[in-house]
Amino acid sequence: MNTTRPPLFAALPVTCVLTFALLSPAAQAQKKGGTLSIGMEAEFSGFNPAKAKIFNQNTITPASSVMETLFVFEGKQIVPRLGLSFAQGDDRLSATVKLRPGVKFHDGTPFDADAVVAHYAWLLAPETGINLSVIAPVKTVEKVDEMTVRFVLKQPWAALQSALASEHLVNFILSPTALKNDPEGFHRKPVGTGPFVFKEWQAGDRIVMERNPDYWDPKLPYLDRLIYRVLPDGNTRYQSIKSGQVDIGRMDTANHVLDAKKDPKLKVHEYQGSGAISWNFNASKEPFNDPRVRAAVVHSFNTKAMLDTFFLGTTVATTDLLGPNSEWFCPKLNWRGYDLAKARALVADVGKPIRFQLVSTNTPAGRRQAGMVQQFVKEVGMEADIRLVEQSQNVRVGLSGDYQMDVWRFSDIVGEPDVALAYYFGGENGAPVSRHDSSKVDAILRKARAETDKAKRKAMYCEVAQIVSDEAYQMIPIRVTYYAIASPKVKNVPPMLNSVIRTRSVWLEQ
C-alpha cells in the first residue's frame, strides 16, 4: 500500500524553528526541585502512534519526557537509554540489543524483551496503519532472552542503530499493558519509562507532568514538575518568557531573538544543525508535475533578500541538504539557487500561464514569509495565491496531499542520513511527501544500505542530494539556526535536534 508518510520528525513548518545549545561547561552544582514551564508553539497531536499518525515537535517534546527509546543522540553521539549495547550480526542481516535491567513502566509493567517485542510487533502489524519508513528494513524483532532482543532485517542496513536512536513516534517504547487495556485513553495519557510521569492534558492549554520517583537513573530528573504551555502566538510566548510566566520557549521571528540578546535578564541558546527551511512541491498535481515549474520557483527565490529582511542575519543559506556542521555535508554539490534569468527562461519554455496555491501557516511570520515568496515568483512571471492554515494543522495538510506548494522543514539529521533521505525522498515504503518519482533515489539508497565503506556511503548520499536539487523535488534555500529564549535560572539545556526540548537533566537555579 503506497501511502503518504508524515515528515520524519514531524516537522512543524515554522519560520525560525528553535532549539538549544550547550551552556557553559563550567562545573555547577545541580539543584533538585522546582517547576519548569515551557512555551510551546502548537497543540499536541496525542500519544498513541496508531491514532496520532505523526508526532510533531510539540508532541515529541513532552513525549520524550514520559517515554524513552532504546538509544538516543546526544550531540552527534549515540548513547544508551533503554538499550545498553548494540551488536551487528556477522551476516549483517540482524543486530542484537541488550536491554537495561531493573526498569519498569509507570504502571508497574516490567520493561524487558517481551515488552520490546510486543511494541515492535504491534507497530509492524499491517492493521496498525503506522508509517514505518524510519524502520522499513526491519523484518521482525525476536526475543533472545529476558533482557536481549534481536532485530532481523530484510536487507543489510548500516543505519539501524541511527534509526533506533531517532526520537520518532515508532521508537518511543510504550507500556504494552496500558496500550492494550485502553488504547483510546493512552492517546491522552501516555505511559512509558521516562523521568516524568504524565498527569494531565488540558486541551489547547497545557500538559502537566511530575517527577518519576522510581526512575531507573536515581540521580535524575532534577525537576519536580513540568508544565508545557500552548502559546501559538510568538509575541505572547516571548512576553510570557520576559515576564517570568514561562521559563523557556521557542520563537518564530528573528526580532525576538535579537531583542533577547540585548536583555541581560534573558538567555539565548543557539545551535546550527543540519535542518533547513523548505517548501514541498506536490509533483502529482499541476503545475508542479512539470519539473520546469518546480525549478523556476527555486530559481526565483531570493535567498539573500529573505535572510536580510526576514531572518535579519540570524541564519544562513543552504548549499546542500545537510550543512557544514554535519559529517555528511556535501560541499561540491551544484545546488540550485537564485537565478532570475534561469527562472524566466524556464517560465517562457513552459509557454503558458503558471498559477498555483501556496499553503502557509496563519501566523505573523508565516503570512509574511508567504507574501515574500508570492513576490519572488511574480517577478519571473508566475502567480501564487496564498492559503493560510493553523500551524498545528499544516502537517496534516501535507499528509493529505491537499496542497500544490506547502511550507515545511527538512529535519535535523545526525547519524546515518539514510533514515531521513528514504523518508523524505524515497518511495519504497510510502509515497514521499512531495509525491515525486523516487526511483532514482530508491536505487541509490538500496546500494548504500549494503555498503560497508562509510566514505562510499557518503558519496551515495551526496548523489541523492544532487538528485534532489536537479529534480527540484523541494525548495530548500535556508539553513535553520535554532534558537530558544530562557530565564537564566534554567540550567543544563543541551544542544537539541529538531527544536525538541528534552528535560531529563535540566535543573533550575532557585
**168-201 confidence digits (pLDDT tens):** 888 999 999 999 999 889 999 999 999 999 999 9
The domain made up of 49-188 has a fold known as Dipeptide-binding Protein; domain 1 (3.90.76)
pLDDT at 5: 47
| SS3 assignment, position 398 | helix
- Asked if residues 487 and 247 have their Cβ atoms less than 8 Å apart, the reply is yes
Give me the amino acid identity at 78: I
Higher confidence at residue 499 or residue 319?
319
What letter does residue 111 receive in the DSSP assignment? P
What is the rounded average pLDDT for all residues in the chain?
Answer: 89
Q: Average the pLDDT over each of 41-50, 331-340, 355-364 and give the range with the smallest value.
A: 41-50
Higher confidence at residue 97 or residue 155?
97
pLDDT at 423: 81
| SS3 assignment, position 480 | strand
Question: Residue 42, CB half-sphere, CA atoms under 13 Å: how many?
Answer: 27
Q: Which of 275, 290, 284 is nearest to 472 (CA)?
A: 290
pLDDT at 1: 40
Question: Spelled out in words, what is the top-level CATH class assigned to the domain 273-480?
Answer: alpha beta
For 59-118, list the strands marked E by DSSP: 71-74, 77-80, 83-88, 94-99
pLDDT at 41: 86
pLDDT of 19 higher than 60? no
Please state the domain extents for the chain: 49-188, 273-480
- Asked if residues 394 and 388 have their Cβ atoms less than 8 Å apart, the reply is no
Please identify which residue in the block is written with the cell numbers 527562472: 343
- Residue 309: φ, ψ to 5°: -100, -25
pLDDT digits (tens, 9 = 90+) for 293-348: 999 999 999 999 999 999 999 999 999 998 888 889 999 999 999 999 999 999 99
Phi-psi region of 492 (alpha: psi -120 to 50; beta: other; left: phi over 0): left
Q: Which uninterrupted H or E stretch holds 178? A: helix 176-181
Instruction: Give the pairing type, strands 206-211 and 248-249.
Output: unpaired
pLDDT of 100 higher than 90? yes
pLDDT of 289 higher than 60? yes
pLDDT of 94 higher than 90? yes
pLDDT of 27 higher than 70? no
pLDDT at 28: 64
pLDDT at 4: 43
258/442 Cα distance (integer angstroms): 42
Q: Which of 409, 358, 359, 362 is nearest to 390 (CA)?
A: 362
- Asked if residues 186 and 205 have their Cβ atoms less than 8 Å apart, the reply is no
| SS3 assignment, position 81 | coil
With a pLDDT cut of 70, the percent of the chain lying above it is 93
Question: Which cell goes with 496?
Answer: 537539541
pLDDT of 64 higher than 60? yes
Residue 459 CB contacts under 8 Å (≥ 6 apart), including other chains: none
Higher confidence at residue 370 or residue 24?
370
pLDDT digits (tens, 9 = 90+) for 384-397: 999 999 876 777 78
Q: Average the pLDDT over each of 87-96, 267-276, 336-345 and give the range with the smallest value.
A: 267-276
Q: Which of 139, 65, 146, 135 is nearest to 110 (CA)?
A: 146
pLDDT at 510: 78
pLDDT of 24 higher than 70? no
pLDDT at 304: 97
With a pLDDT cut of 90, the percent of the chain lying above it is 66
pLDDT at 286: 96
Residue 333 CB contacts under 8 Å (≥ 6 apart), including other chains: 319, 320, 462, 465, 466, 469
pLDDT of 148 higher than 50? yes
Residue 315 CB contacts under 8 Å (≥ 6 apart), including other chains: 16, 272, 307, 478, 479, 480, 481
Q: Which of 468, 419, 461 is nearest to 318 (CA)?
A: 468
DSSP per-residue codes, 424-450 = HH--BTB--TT----HHHHHHHHHHHH
Q: How many residues does the chain have?
A: 510
In this prediction, residue 431 has a pLDDT band, given cuts at 50, 70 and 90, of confident
In this prediction, residue 57 has a pLDDT band, given cuts at 50, 70 and 90, of confident
Query: In the predicted model, what is the mean pLDDT of residues 82-109?
Result: 96
